Amino acid sequence: MSKTYNLTTPLTEEQTRMLKAGDIVYLSGVIFTARDAAHKRLVDLIEAGEELPFDLEGSVIYFVGPTPPKPGDPIGSAGPTTSYRMDSYSPTMLKHGSKGMIGKGKRNQDVKDACKEYGGIYFGATGGAGALLGKQIKSAEVIAYPELGPEAVRKLEVENFPVTVINDTYGADLYQMGREQYEVK
Amino acid sequence: MRVIEFNDVVKAVRDIIVHCGTDLPQDAYDALKQAMEDEKSPVSKEVLKQILENADIAKDEKRPLCQDTGLAVFFVKVGDEVKINGGLLKDAINKGTEQGYTDAYLRASTCEPFSRANLKDTVGYNLPAIIHFDIVAGDKIDIEYAAKGGGSENVSRATVFPPAAGKDGIVEYVKEVISNAGPNPCPPITVGVGIGGTFEKAAISSKHALFRTLGTHNEDPEMDELEQRILTEINNLGIGAMGMGGTKTALAVHIESNPCHIASLPVSVNVQCHSSRHTHITI
């Protein structure tokens, strides 16, 4: 039976190890945005042993390229992008302390293995619910790579941001579990 | 000849883009609502509820439905008695696209293929639009528009079968494409299937099939039957809303079929995410 949790970032390994695929989590606190282009730069920095624009320890990375904010809003619509494009970078991020990722769609085995080994969670947010999700973001600040436009790294403050655990630290995959349950052969 | 002002086309295009960015068309909304009622999985039902709530918020507060506000895709039928005064029709559509995307705070998503540099400052904000022209009799311009997102485009596929593959081959192919796509294209999806023609004709037909109003039947009874058969097969995959597992993976399958070469059976599968932002105007 799936459980519901309210968690505040940064996440600890104790917290991530208690989560199971299918659990619903309302996240609050600071999260960071990065898509393909930003991931490439972050991983290059890690490999060169250089300092990152934010502390990876316990961090949650949101795969999103928001729309421009309307005047007076912190951010525009901000739903998840498809995560497989980050598959080649995520294991390095997890190895260096990041504890969570928010996106949509399947991850490869390397990412699932890294979740097990380093205590990371892959959360799914509802794709195409950008207006609803954008409202849970209370502040947004570009902290690196402004030239990437929508793909710049942003520091977001979120409140009760609704996500579901897709891949947990035990190797379970909600996409597989859900599909097996409803597949008609 | 009927003279239509360049700026009237610009304004009409701008207006449909602004509208489509935030207001989910009624056919898509109704189809999602029906899916929510029919869905057997409580998890997928909850996702569908969130998707509908998102549509309500977007409409009420004029916020983009999704951060992927798409590439602007047009199918334009130009009457042979129409003359545009003040510029080219193609330029008017591009100008309207740029204005709409800018005015509604939609995302500029066009980029150079390899450097990935955004084209907003060089070519224009979310330009160029993808425009398919046709010339027809009459004195009107008929514009079909859709904001086409990247996630569902990425899982779309095309191939050319030998004729012997027949309907069974096409059913299996579409099933395989959707099965491999899984949660990635943001289901529940609409599946456009282009059959026949040439390689590119099938692809364009599969795109145009997505513009058909959801809930309508194919006028050709044979294709209508094939649509229902493929829809059942897709929903039997169990993918569900956002891939969480469920009974409603697709809202509809739309087929457009064309005559083809005696040696070939081209087929293309174009996938549309649940946020089916499309509309139609006549000028």
DSSP-assigned letter for residue B279: E
- pLDDT single digits (tens) B235-270: 999 999 999 999 999 999 999 999 999 999 999 999
Strand B189-197 versus strand A60-62 pairing type = unpaired
Question: Is residue A2 scored above 90 in pLDDT?
Answer: no
Q: Which residues of B touch A2 (CB under 8 A)?
A: 43
A39 is catalytic: yes
Q: How confident is the model at residue A147 (pLDDT cuts 50, 70, 90)?
A: confident
DSSP-assigned letter for residue A63: -
Q: Which residues of A touch B108 (CB under 8 A)?
A: 149-150
Distance CA A115, CA A16 (A): 10
The owner of tokens 């008929």 is B142
Question: Is residue A148 scored above 80 in pLDDT?
Answer: yes
Distance CA A179, CA A163 (A): 19
Quick check: A47 contacting B, CB < 8 Å? no
Asked if A183's CB is within 8 angstroms of B244's CB, the reply is no
Q: Which among A128, A150, A175 is the nearest to B273, CB-wise?
A: A128
Give the distance from residue A183's alpha carbon to the nearest chain B alpha carbon, in angstroms. Answer: 4
Between A and B, how many CB-CB pairs are < 8 A?
164
- pLDDT single digits (tens) B178-191: 999 999 999 999 99
Asked if B61's CB is within 8 angstroms of A131's CB, the reply is yes
The interaxial angle of helices B42-61 and B26-38, nearest 10 deg, is 160
- Residue B134 CA, chain-centre distance (Å), reads 18
Structure tokens at A142: 């570009």
Inter-CA distances, B91 with B19, B95, B122, B146, B184, Å: 21, 6, 16, 18, 34
Q: Which among B44, B120, B274 is the nearest to A128, CB-wise?
A: B274
- When pLDDT is averaged across residues A1-14 and rounded to a whole number, the result is 93
CA-based torsion, A133, A134, A137, A142: positive or negative: positive
Q: How confident is the model at residue A149 (pLDDT cuts 50, 70, 90)?
A: confident
Structure tokens at B165: 């593959």
- pLDDT single digits (tens) A158-175: 999 999 999 999 999 999
CB A82 within 8 A of CB B183: no
Give ipTM to 2 decimals. Answer: 0.91
**CATH code given to domain A4-175:** 3.20.130.10
Site from B44, B152, B244 to mutate, A interface, most A CB atoms within 10 angstroms: B244
CA triple B271-B273-B279, angle to 5 deg: 95
- pLDDT single digits (tens) A42-97: 999 999 999 999 999 999 999 999 999 999 999 999 999 999 999 999 999 999 99
CA atoms within 13 A on the CB side of A165: 30
Query: Domain map of chain B by residue range?
Result: 2-20+65-148, 151-276
Q: Which of residues B54 and A36 earns the better pLDDT score?
A: B54
DSSP-assigned letter for residue A31: E
Query: Domain map of chain A by residue range?
Result: 4-175
Give the distance from residue A125's alpha carbon to the nearest chain B alpha carbon, in angstroms. Answer: 9
Asked if B243's CB is within 8 angstroms of A105's CB, the reply is yes
Q: Give the Cβ contact number of residue B263 at 10 Å.
A: 8
Q: What is the pLDDT of residue A1?
A: 67
CB A157 within 8 A of CB A29: yes
CB A26 within 8 A of CB A136: no
CB B144 within 8 A of CB B136: no
Q: Which residues of B touch A81 (CB under 8 A)?
A: 67-68, 151
Give the distance from residue B134's alpha carbon to the nearest chain A alpha carbon, in angstroms. Answer: 32
Who's near B197: CB < 8 A, 6+ residues apart? B205, B258, B259, B260, B266
Q: What is the pLDDT of residue A185?
A: 87
Q: Which of A33, A35, A39, A144 is catalytic?
A: A39
Distance CA A165, CA A175 (A): 10
Which residues in chain B come in under a pLDDT of 70? none
Asked if A65's CB is within 8 angstroms of B107's CB, the reply is yes
Distance CA A5, CA A19 (A): 9
Q: Which residues of B touch A133 (CB under 8 A)?
A: 54
- Residue in A9, A3, A4, A11 with CA at minimum distance from that of residue A118: A11
Site from B50, B52, B67, B105 to mutate, A interface, most A CB atoms within 10 angstroms: B67
Asked if A175's CB is within 8 angstroms of B244's CB, the reply is yes
> Residue B23, exposed/middle/buried by CB under 10 A (0-12, 13-18, 19+)?
middle
- Residue in B179, B161, B159 with CA at minimum distance from that of residue B230: B179
Distance CA A87, CA A106 (A): 9
